[in-house]
Structure 1
Amino acid sequence: MTMMLDIAEIAQATGLSSRALRFYEARGLIRPLRSSGGRRIFGAGELERLHAIVALKRAGFTLAAIGRMLDRPDARLGPMVAAQLSVVEAQRVALADTAALLQSIQSRIDAGERIDVATLCSLIRKGNSMTTTQWKAVVDRHFTTEEQARWAERMGALGPDFDQVAYQARWADLGQRIAAALPLDPDSDVARGFVREWFALLAPFRAVATPEMWAGATRLHQDRAEWDGQADPGFSGEVWQFIQAAGAAMRARGEQPEA
C-alpha cells in the first residue's frame, strides 16, 4: 500500500513547520499532490526529498543550490561543495573575529569600564570593519612571508596585554571623525589636532617598528588604489591623503607631528 501523508503528518515526520512546507512548495522544491478536497498529500518520494532538503540546509546550502542538486542527481557536486566550503570557512573566520571582539569587550567590562548598549553597538561595528581574511589577502600581496614573520615578532614585543581589537576600534573611530570633518583645510587648528591624534595612535607601532617596517607600512598605504575596497584598515584613502597633507603643513610650520 502506498504511503500518503497530509501536511500535518509530514511536519511531524520532518520537524518542519507547515509554513516552511508551503514555502518550499512555492519555491518549487517540493511538489505535493492534492486530494479531491484540495489538501496537500505527500508520498514517500516527497518525504525523502524533504529529509534531503533538511540535511543540505544544515550544511548551509542555499535553497537555489538545493533545488539544483535535487533536480539533477547526476550534477557534479565537487564545485558546489567547494564553493559552500569557502562560504562556511569565511563564516568561521568571521565568527572567530566576533568572538575575539566580544572577549575584548567583556574584559573591559570585567575591569570596571561602564559600557552601555550604544557603546557596545559602536564597538561591534568598528571592531568588525576589517576581517582577518580581507586584510591578509592585501598583506600577502605586499609583503613576503619572511617580512610578515619579522613583523609578527616585532609586534609581539607589545606584550600579551595589547588589545588589537580595541586598538583597531580606536582607528575606526578616528577615521570616521576625520571623514565627517572633510573637506577641511590641512593647515588649520582642527587638522593639526587630528594629526596629533593620528600619531598618538601610531605610538605603539612606532615603538617596535624598524625603519623597514615603517617604510613598508607607508608604501602599503601609498599603493592603496590597488586594494581600496578590498579591506578596511579603519580609515579611507581620502582620510589617509588628508593626514599626509596636514602632516606636511605642520612640518612646513616647523612643527613635528610625530612629537
Structure 2
Amino acid sequence: MADSLDIAAVTRLTGLTARALRFYEARGLVQPLRTASGRRHYDAAALERLNLILSLKKAGLTLAQIQRLTANRRIDLHGLITAQLDHLEAQARRISEAQTLLVSVKSRIDRGEPIDAETFCSLIRHEQQDSTTMSQDQWKAVTDRYFTPEQQAEWADRMGALGEDFDQDAYAAEWKALGDDIKAALPMDPSGEAAAGFVQRWFDLLKPFTDVASPAMWTGTMKMYDDMDNWPVQADPGFDTEVWAFMKQATAARMLAGVSLALPKQPG
C-alpha cells in the first residue's frame, strides 16, 4: 500500500478527525483499504472522495444529502440545490435578525441605557413575537390559496376544540424536531423498521389534528402539502418536500402491511 496513507496522515491532510473518518466509513461515504492487520489506509480514490465530501459540506449539504448525491443514482440536483438555498436563506434571515437585535441592544448600552438581563430577555421575547407574527402571515398566504374562507372558519372552529392549553409553538417545534430526524436518516427503506418507527412518531404527533379534523380537512391538507413546491411564500411546516414524499411512501407501506393508522373519522 505504498500509494496510500494511513488514518493519521489523512487526519493531518484533511483536518478531519479519526472519529469523523470512521463515521463516514460507517455511513458508506468512503471505503478505505485494509492492511492484513486491519489498519485503515486511504488510496487516491478515497482521498478524492473525502475532498468531495468536504466540498459538499462547505456548500451546507447534510451527510444524508451527500450520500444520495454520491451514490451513483439519479437525483434531482436542481431540486436539492433549490431546497438547500431555501434552507440557507432561512438560516441567513435568522442570523440577520439576531445580529439586528444584538446591534440594537449594544447601541442602547453604548448610549448609557441601563440594560439588565431581564430587559435583554424582554427584547428577545418581543423579537420572537414579531417572528411569530411573520410566520402566521406566511401561513395565511398559503392557506388562502388552498382553503376557502368557509373552510378556514371550520378549521378555526374544530381546532378550537383542542382547548386553551394547546401550545401551538411547542407543537410546531415538535414537528421541526421530527422533520430534522427523518431528514438526517434518509435515505432509508420506506418499508423498513426505521421507517416504521418514524411513521408511528408522525401519527402520534398528528393525533391532535386527527382527533378534530374532518375527512375533507384531511384531504385538503394532503393536497396542500403535495403542492409545497408551488406555495406562494416559504412557510415552514417543519419538514421539506423530500421528507413529505418519503413519509407518504412509508405510510403506504405500513398500511399495505395491515397496520392500522389513526385517520379522521366521518362525522356522526
TM (norm. structure 2) is: 0.47
* Rg (Cα) greater in structure: 1
